[in-house]
Amino acid sequence: MNTAQLSNEEQIAMWNGAAGQAWVETQAALDRLLEPFERLLVEAVAARKAQRVLDVGCGTGATTLAVARRLRAQRACVGVDISEPMIALARSRAERERAPARFICADAQTHAFAPGSFDMIVSRFGVMFFADSVRAFANLRRAATKGADMKLIAWRGPADNPFMTTAERAAVPFLPELPARRPDEPGQFAFADRDRVYGILNESGWTEIDIQPLDVGCTMPKSELLTYVSKLGPVGRALQQVDERTHARVIDALRAAFAPYVHGAEVRFTAACWMIGARAAE
């Protein structure tokens, strides 16, 4: 088995286990936090006047559903994700809303989409987890019509996003087994290197590649902060395995470490991202 296959299996296991369940449990808070990015992608779809949209790494479906509302019933929006619990919630939300959206539980890297199915592909933080990104984007290229647009939002590097790594820095004295972040491996910051992202898209058949920095102010209620930082990411997964005393010590450390981001009843930080655009080669 090659490294890419192993890495992909690890991602599938993670997002169908603790990580996926944590996103399901915190869905409402995450939707509120990430709504500015959802809005940017919905506006991009509207500007393109897209008819058939694929949302890659759709998670619990917020962006897919928002696009479907904008497109209305006569058009199609499909979300794809490897996480069964997240897709189950997305389907439930679509059913409650009677939204014209469909969800596929599959790996977008290998799923056999019908060729030329989509005239626009979008993703909100869903494309950084592929074991083989060139293969994944080549597969998405085959799923796109000729001349289809792609709009992706991905994180820049950890140095640009101190909020996103504060929990790990605060918790590591108590959780020495926390996995180290490694550049270019599947994960939150896998697309930090702009040149690498350009190379992936170029090699996989995309043209008119445009990668621009995107800095977005994000907020959440102070009351949701500790749930957010203690359930999600490497620290959230590690906390499920520790004893009560260690858990309490980590929570105290997190509370102190995130204090600079708390302003009254609100938490504020800047999300440093890339807005990535490309077009399927004619």
pLDDT 10s digits, 118-141:
999 999 999 999 999 999 999 999
pLDDT greater than 80 at residue 2:
no
Distance, in Å, from the CA atom of 35 to the CA atom of 62, rounded to the nearest integer, reads 8
Task: Give me the pLDDT at residue 6, please.
Answer: 41
Task: Give me the pLDDT at residue 74, please.
Answer: 61
Task: Give me the pLDDT at residue 17, please.
Answer: 87
pLDDT per position as a tens digit, 137-179: 999 999 999 999 999 999 999 999 999 999 999 999 999 888 8
Do residues 77 and 101 make contact, with C-beta atoms less than 8 angstroms apart? yes
pLDDT greater than 90 at residue 191:
yes
Provide φ and ψ at 6, rounded to 5°: -60, -45
Task: Give me the pLDDT at residue 19, please.
Answer: 85
pLDDT greater than 60 at residue 1:
no
pLDDT greater than 80 at residue 243:
yes
Distance, in Å, from the CA atom of 204 to the CA atom of 80, rounded to the nearest integer, reads 19
pLDDT greater than 60 at residue 272:
yes
What is the DSSP secondary-structure string of the chain?
A: --HHHHHHHHHHHHHTTHHHHHHHHTHHHHHHHHHHHHHHHHHHHHHHT-SEEEEET-TTSHHHHHHHHHH-TTSEEEEEES-HHHHHHHHHHHHHHT-SEEEEES-TTT--PPTT-EEEEEEES-STT-SSHHHHHHHHHHHEEEEEEEEEEEE--GGG-HHHHHHHHHHTTT-TTPPPP-TTSSSTTTT--HHHHHHHHHHTTEEEEEEEEEEEEEEEEHHHHHHHHHHSHHHHHHHTTS-HHHHHHHHHHHHHHTGGGEETTEEEEEEEEEEEEEEE--
Which tokens go with 206?
A: 């995309």
Architecture of domain 3-158+180-219+272-280: 3-Layer(aba) Sandwich (3.40)
Task: Give the total residue count for the chain.
Answer: 282
Q: At what angle do helices 27-48 and 62-71 cross, to 10 degrees?
A: 40
Task: Give me the pLDDT at residue 73, please.
Answer: 61
pLDDT per position as a tens digit, 89-101: 999 999 999 988 9
Q: Can you give the pTM of this predicted structure?
A: 0.93
How many Cα atoms within 13 Å fall on the side-chain side of residue 27? 18
pLDDT per position as a tens digit, 21-75: 999 999 999 999 999 999 999 999 999 999 999 999 999 999 999 999 998 766 6
Task: Give me the pLDDT at residue 214, please.
Answer: 98
Which tokens go with 189?
A: 């910051």
Task: Give me the pLDDT at residue 72, please.
Answer: 78
> How are beta strands 266-280 and 262-263 bridged, if at all?
antiparallel
Task: Give me the pLDDT at residue 165, please.
Answer: 93
pLDDT per position as a tens digit, 194-226: 999 999 999 999 999 999 999 999 999 999 999
Task: Give me the pLDDT at residue 4, please.
Answer: 47
Task: Give me the pLDDT at residue 89, please.
Answer: 97
CA angle 149, 153, 159 (to 5 degrees): 145
> How are beta strands 101-105 and 76-81 bridged, if at all?
parallel
pLDDT greater than 80 at residue 5:
no
What is the average pLDDT across 247-271?
97
Task: Give me the pLDDT at residue 7, please.
Answer: 54
Task: Give me the pLDDT at residue 75, please.
Answer: 67
